[in-house]
């Protein structure tokens, strides 16, 4: 195992003190603001997992106990094929551990130059995850490529949303939570910035150092009075799709302050793909009340127009689909996303779609 300073507080064997489950530390995967992530292997079953480690001393220093309890509660509540599953969590004398399912393709951030049809397939799955979160009244608040993991167990690439450290229940008004500026600047929604500023002014709290006088003036002139809701995740989805097409987020600038200003203006270079640009534009509407909802996103032409180039779009074998076969494929997708998506998971949909197209190909011969 390659040495890394992040291993300093960890033993080579991690033990759950409650049930005595034991894990071998394999390698360091990365870190966030308050945690490190490792690849581990359960000694008894030999199964591979991801392990998120939070130092208790850091939790105490930053007073993150409430945030930790919130993340545990959320993970225990979530069970969906497009959300990373929490296997177990426990604490020893030094750290708190989240044992999570391991995604063998790491995060979407590492996905280089995906094809249009691949981006559409990933978008469909993110929408499924966001629909599930909305049904459970949860807002992620930090949706970005680094927090979307990819897992390819069969011929299909599966999306898994992770890192619910700053997620919140949308049915509870919590000014204390919303007052602090949380998230990743390039993927923050306008209401995350505006709510932070207005609540900070209301409660005489400290405003983030990246907020200058010009930005304050912009916010005070805006007529909308938004609250953080499910629409914040839809904004982030638009930013993610834009980055998958172009390689950079739509509002990226030289510094965070300039990024915030671009976000509040809601102006970005258009995408060449007409359907994708229309979808992204409807996600990146500054006023969340006018922004596309997750329900509307399900039936957008960009989402339904997922042209399948062969049985496996993530493999090496591809077939050319004629215009009539393309239409047949679109009809199949419309039926699934309108009537069947709550019954069949996306992986079953892909198999059924492949079978449907195979039968259609035979009938065309």
Query: Binding-site residues for ATP, please?
Result: 52
Query: What secondary structure does DSSP assign to 232-274, as a single string?
Result: HHHHHHHHHHHHHHHSS-TT--SSHHHHHHHHHHT--PPPSSH
CB atoms within 10 A of CB 183: 20
Q: At a CB cut-off of 8 Å and minimum separation 6, what does 253 contact? A: 259, 261, 262
Q: Please give the DSSP secondary-structure letter assigned to residue 6.
A: G
Query: Cα–Cα distances in Å, from 284 out to 104, 191, 364?
Result: 31, 12, 41
Q: Rounded CA gap, 161 and 19, in Å? A: 27
Is residue 144 within 8 Å of 98, Cβ to Cβ? no
Binding residues: 52
Q: Rounded CA gap, 168 and 178, in Å? A: 10
| Strand 148-151 to 158-161 pairing | antiparallel
H or E segment and range at residue 144: none
Residue with tokens 């409650």: 18
Q: Say what angle helices 256-265 and 190-202 make with each other, to 10 degrees.
A: 110
CB atoms within 10 A of CB 13: 11
CB contact burial 43-78 (16+ within 10 A = b; e otherwise)? eeeeeebbbbbbbbeebeeeebeebbebbeebbeeb
- Length of the chain, in residues: 365
Q: Rounded CA gap, 145 and 148, in Å? A: 5
Give the residue among 183, 231, 233 at the shortest CA–CA distance from 208: 183
Q: Please give the DSSP secondary-structure letter assigned to residue 301.
A: H
Helices (H) and strands (E) in the chain, counts: 13, 10
């Amino acid at each position: 195992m390659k040495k890394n300073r992040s291993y300093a507080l960890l033993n080579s064997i991690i033990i759950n003190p409650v049930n005595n489950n034991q894990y071998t530390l394999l390698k360091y995967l990365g870190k966030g603001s308050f945690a490190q992530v490792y690849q581990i292997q359960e000694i008894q079953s030999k199964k591979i997992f991801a392990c998120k480690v939070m130092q208790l001393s850091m939790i105490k220093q930053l007073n993150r106990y409430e945030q930790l309890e919130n993340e545990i509660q959320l993970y225990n509540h979530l069970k969906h094929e497009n959300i990373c599953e929490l296997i177990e969590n426990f604490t020893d004398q030094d750290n708190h551990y989240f044992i999570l399912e391991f995604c063998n393709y790491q995060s979407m951030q590492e996905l280089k130059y995906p094809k249009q049809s691949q981006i559409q397939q990933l978008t469909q799955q993110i929408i499924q995850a966001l629909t599930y979160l909305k049904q459970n009244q949860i807002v992620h608040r930090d949706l970005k490529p680094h927090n979307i993991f990819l897992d390819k167990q069969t011929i299909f690439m599966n999306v898994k949303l992770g890192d619910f450290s700053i997620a919140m229940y949308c049915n509870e008004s919590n000014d204390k939570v919303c007052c602090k500026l949380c998230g990743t600047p390039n993927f923050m929604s306008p209401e995350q910035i505006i709510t932070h500023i207005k609540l900070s002014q209301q409660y005489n709290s400290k405003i983030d150092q990246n907020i200058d006088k010009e930005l304050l003036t912009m916010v005070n002139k805006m007529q909308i009075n938004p609250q953080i809701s499910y629409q914040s995740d839809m904004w982030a989805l638009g930013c993610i799709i834009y980055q998958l097409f172009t390689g950079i987020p739509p509002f990226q600038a030289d510094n965070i302050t300039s990024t915030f200003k671009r976000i509040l203006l809601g102006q970005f270079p258009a995408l060449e793909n007409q359907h994708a640009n229309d979808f992204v534009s409807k996600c990146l509407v500054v006023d969340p009340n006018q922004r596309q909802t997750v329900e509307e996103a399900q039936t957008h032409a960009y989402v339904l127009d997922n042209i399948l180039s062969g049985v496996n779009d993530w493999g090496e074998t591809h077939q050319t689909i004629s215009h009539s076969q393309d239409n047949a494929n679109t009809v199949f997708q419309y039926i699934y996303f309108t009537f069947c998506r709550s019954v069949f998971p996306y992986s079953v949909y892909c198999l059924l779609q492949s079978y449907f197209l195979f039968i259609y190909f035979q009938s065309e011969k």
